[in-house]
Amino acid sequence: MVAEILKPTVQDLQKDVIELLEQISALMNRASTALSSNSSDNKYGEFQKEVIEAVSNVKELKLRMAIVAPMKAGKSTIINAIVGQEILPSRNAAMTTLPTEIIFDAKLEEPTLTLSAEILAVFQKTVSALQEKMQTLGDEQMQEKIAQYPHLTQLLQEIQDNVWFPPCPETVGREEIIKALTGLNDIIRLCSLLELTKDPLGQLEDVPCILTPFWRSQTTQSEKLGNLVIVDTPGPNEAGENLRLAAVVTEQLQKSSMVLIVLDFTQLKTEAAEKVKKDVQQVINLRGKENLYVLINKIDQRRESDMTPEQVQQFVTAELGIGNASDTKRVFEVSARRAFSAANFMQELEQHPDVEVTQMQTARLLAQEVFGFEWEEELAEATVEEVHKKSQRLWKKSGFESFLERAINALMEQAAPKCIRSALNLSRNRLIELCDDVKLRSSAIAQDAEKLQHEVGALEADLKRLELCHSHLKEVDTIKIQLQQNLKKILEDLKNTAQVKLETFFAQEEHQRADWLKQKDIEARQWFLTPLGDFELFPKWISKRIKSALEFKSSGVIEFTNALEAEEFANQAVVYAKQRAESLLCNVREQTGEEIEQARTGLINFLDKETKPIIERARTRLNEVFQVDLSLPQPSFKANDMTLVKPRIGSQHRYIDQGYEERVVKKREWWHWLWIVPIEVTEKFKRPDKKEDYFTVSLEELIAGINESIETNIDSINQGINKYLDEDFKQRVDVLFEQLDTYLRSYRDSLKQAQTDKNLSLDKQEKLVSELTSLIPEASTKIKKAEAYIEYTDSLIKD
């Protein structure tokens, strides 16, 4: 039956389901009208509203695609090309640090940036934290820290002078949006460079959202593009080593149906290849391989000796471990520069069809792509029609048309089935309830009053048994206690793993051997470059300048020659330790999720066993079919922003023995010419001790702060688990019983309504029964059709 009524593609399935849901909505409206003389009309009216919402969800299916670039590979240009105009900020230095959501809306005339109250509050706190940090740093230190980012100088001055103002909650217009996003991204970059130990950005849960119109090519699936949601996401290394946005980036990747990794074609076989491989693996660890795709950009720079598309496919599958050699749907090749220059020109031409080509703002960029080194002369002589044809050809050569079509199809295959199944399940259940109500009520009208009263009493007895079952569910507490024990063990293991010991900052047992470290200074420095198990503290986070001057004492104190180096070391140590701890906490959240999932399954099985007999008795007695599914959500644990107390930097001085020196002096001695003639004498003099200032950082103090913060975060996870078990877990059990109670009451109310119907005249009873029974065949047909669609949709999800 499925094969007969279903078409092969997901898009066709979507259309068929929308048509069915609209028919079900009409049926619910008919039921509400037909039964308007009684209290059931509002019930079926509510059913219709639910189905209408389900239709909207399937029609406006959100196709969510996250785009990540492990290196600077033209990610912003790719997004701008899809939009058809420059809407994201871009510069030579890495730009994207804050994930940004772009939602396409064909009805809009201008793009609009929306910033939630939460985002604005977090950035206001961040600016305050920056101002506090600036007070502790001198101008010279601040300029040194931002030396590689000169464009931050003005922002630094504005924040320092307290004249920086946050963007508005809503910003309209392309240029203003770019300005607002540039400001937010620069603040995040500044936080990284100034190394804030108290960073409000770790609290960020929401992301900026841009609603934008888009350019439609004649062949692009524009109706699907209208449902596309792109998330511009910083890559694993693009956001900078010290940025604290891991949580929000992870959340955005996990919410996306497709994660698209952008790679630079010109860098695939350079020293960057290994770096790309490592960065891609980080994305796989966050999101998994199943929904991962690769977009190779800058193919316009392919030369005859470069890799062919087939070789690129082999490289991706072999080196990055994505898909297999035969899975060509995983890799797209494009030229974002070509696509953007073509789309940008064609969009301007659509908006201003009568403009001269030389007056068009987008013509120069396009001409450079299509006319070569004589582009200025060619552009001056070309007509609008000629340049338009060139833009169309360039768009096709860019690979974007094929990329968008294939990407949207892949998104449909990923996202559509789950949304469609949810809508079908809801509508089928409402149809079953309608059908059951109508059958029961139309049949009950013909029964005698005594029998009706008996059935009403039996259902009320079922309701009491259900209530009694709910109040005596001791097994729920047993499941909860067992789960708490399992999770406690996980958290104890986490404490043991996460706590830092002084030994692990250098090497096991060697920290006591200070003399050995002094004698073998070169070897000691080499240790800083060696991974120590899973905990690489010194290797990457200490700058080269600090490594060369670092001196370690047996007391766990590190000395520096100036305050700037000591400050930099302390900040880098705190940031790295925080990132390591957060990585461990992330793994533990996955473990707790698995444990809770197992407990949830056990609870579902138990509740099904306890409640099914009650429902079965009612069903047998009333000859009805009833089914309900329990759905318990996974808990959401929000990690506290780990505030590690920076170790105190001690300022001390010492006196260094400068030794002795010889000098020749003239003296008069009695024995040499009776003091008359001086004689030259060589004498030893002690040089004055040299006073030397030095600065120290105590590792013991640092480690104590790290461990205290880790324990605080573990306690936070424990509180989150207890809240879930005490509230959400119990609440969902209560919801199940409320649903069962509602269904049994519905049966009872149908019988009571039938008792009222018996008071009608015979003509009116016959007319009512006729109206009721006329609904059954249509409802039954639609139930079967919905079940067939559900069966097919489930097969798509399993595949």
- Give residue-wise pLDDT tens across range 316-342: 877 777 766 556 677 889 999 999 999
- Percent of the chain past pLDDT 90, that is, above it, reads 12
Give Cβ neighbours of residue 249 (< 8 Å, ≥ 6 apart).
99, 233, 234, 239, 286
Q: What is the pLDDT of residue 526?
A: 37
Looking at per-residue pLDDT, the higher value among 14 and 706 belongs to 14
* 3-state helix, strand and coil shares in percent for the chain, rounded to the nearest 5: 65, 10, 25
Q: Is there a contact between 235 and 73 (Cβ–Cβ < 8 Å)?
A: no
Task: Tell whether 51 and 9 lie within a shared domain.
Answer: yes
Domain region containing 375: 339-398
| 296 and 233 in a common domain | no
Structure tokens at 591: 């473990």
Task: Report the candidate in 122, 120, 156 with the shortest Cα–Cα distance to residue 137.
Answer: 156
More confident residue, 465 or 211: 211
What CA–CA distances, in Å, run from 356 to 349, 379, 388, 466, 537?
A: 10, 11, 12, 78, 62
User: Taking Cα atoms as reference points, which of 246, 338, 348 lies closest to residue 301?
Assistant: 338
Please indicate, yes or no, whether residues 175 and 306 belong to a single structural domain of this protein.
no
Based on its alpha-carbon atoms, the radius of gyration of the chain, rounded to whole angstroms, reads: 36
Say which residue the tokens 């007319």 belong to. 767
Q: How many CB atoms lie within 10 A of CB 158?
A: 14
Find where tokens 């990540």 sit: 68
Residues 118 and 222 in one domain: yes
Q: Which of 25-34, 130-139, 278-287, 355-364 has the lowest mean pLDDT?
A: 278-287
Indicate if 308 and 267 belong to the same structural domain.
Answer: yes
User: Is 216 within a domain?
Assistant: yes
Q: Is residue 351 part of a domain?
A: yes
| Residue 650 neighbours by CB under 8 Å, 6+ apart | 695, 696, 697, 698
Domain end among 281, 300, 333:
333
Cα within 13 Å of Cα(294), Cβ side:
30
For the segment 480-484, the average pLDDT, to the nearest whole number, is 73
What is the per-residue DSSP string for 247-296? HHHHHHHHH-SEEEEEEEGGGTTSTHHHHHHHHHHHHHHHH-STTEEEEE
DSSP tag of 448: -
Given 221, 256, 291, which residue is the final one in a domain?
A: 256
Domain boundary among 333, 350, 375: 333
Structural domain total, the chain: 4
Average pLDDT for the chain: 73
Other Cβ atoms less than 10 A from the Cβ of 175: the count is 10
Q: Is residue 698 part of a domain?
A: no
Could you tell me if residue 566 is inside a domain? no
371 or 73, which is more confident: 371
| Tokens describing residue 116 | 């939630």
67 within a domain of the structure (yes/no)? no
Nearest CA to 388 out of 336, 348, 337 is that of 348
Task: List the single range of 73-77, 301-305, 388-392 with lowest mean pLDDT.
Answer: 73-77
CA distance 413 to 569: 50
544 domain residue, yes or no: no
Same-domain status, 40 and 7: yes
Sign of CA dihedral 523, 528, 530, 533: positive
User: Does pLDDT of 198 surpass 70?
Assistant: no
598 occurs within a structural domain: no
Quote the tokens at residue 315. 């490289």
Instruction: Please report how many Cα atoms fall inside a 13 Å half-sphere around the Cα of residue 445, on the Cβ side.
Output: 23
* Residue with tokens 């290994």, as numbered in its chain: 274
Same domain, 322 and 374: no
pLDDT of residue 669: 64
**Residue matched to tokens 């000098």:** 663
| Per-residue pLDDT, 340 | 92
Looking at the structure, tell me whether residues 189 and 121 fall in a common domain: yes
Same domain, 242 and 386: no
706-731 core/surface letters (b: 16 or more CB in 10 A; e: else): bbebbeebbebbbebbeebbeebbee
CB 266 within 8 A of CB 302: no
CA torsion 280-282-288-294 (nearest 10°) is -20
Q: What is the pLDDT of residues 353-408, one digit of tens each?
A: 888 888 898 999 999 999 988 899 999 989 999 999 999 999 999 998 888 888 87
With beta carbons less than 8 A apart as the criterion, state whether 282 and 236 touch: yes
Please provide the DSSP assignment of 196-243 as one string.
-SS-GGGG-----EEEE-----SSS-HHHHTTEEEEEEE-TTTT-TT-
**783 close to 435: Cβ distance less than 8 angstroms:** yes
Is 132's pLDDT higher than 70?
A: yes
CB 28 within 8 A of CB 44: yes
Q: What is the mean pLDDT of residues 673-695?
A: 61
pLDDT of residue 24: 94
Q: How far apart are CA 775 and CA 769, in angstroms?
A: 10
- Cα-based distances in Å from 219 to 216, 222, 392: 8, 8, 11
Is residue 225 situated within a structural domain?
Answer: yes
Q: Residue 21: name the closest of 572, 554, 789, 637 by CA.
A: 789
Going by the DSSP 8-state scheme, the letter that residue 151 receives in this structure is: G
Based on the fold, state whether residues 15 and 119 are members of the same structural domain: no
Q: Picking from 110-119, 160-169, 189-198, 692-701, which range would have the lowest pLDDT averaged per residue?
A: 692-701
* 236, pLDDT greater than 70: no
Q: Are residues 235 and 281 both part of a single domain? A: no
pLDDT at 232 over 80: yes
Whether residue 767 has pLDDT greater than 60: yes
Pick from 435-439, 611-615, 692-696 the range whose average pLDDT is largest. Answer: 435-439
DSSP type of residue 185: H
What confidence score (pLDDT) does residue 309 get?
87
Q: How far is CA 475 from the centre of its chain?
A: 36
Alpha-carbon gap, residue 576 to 708, rounded angstroms: 16
User: What angle do the packed helices 563-622 and 730-757 form, to 10 degrees?
Assistant: 30
Eight-class DSSP state of 674: G
Sheet holding 331-333, edge to edge: 170-172, 112-114, 209-212, 100-104, 228-234, 63-69, 258-264, 292-297, 331-333
Query: Are 267 and 366 part of one and the same domain?
Result: no
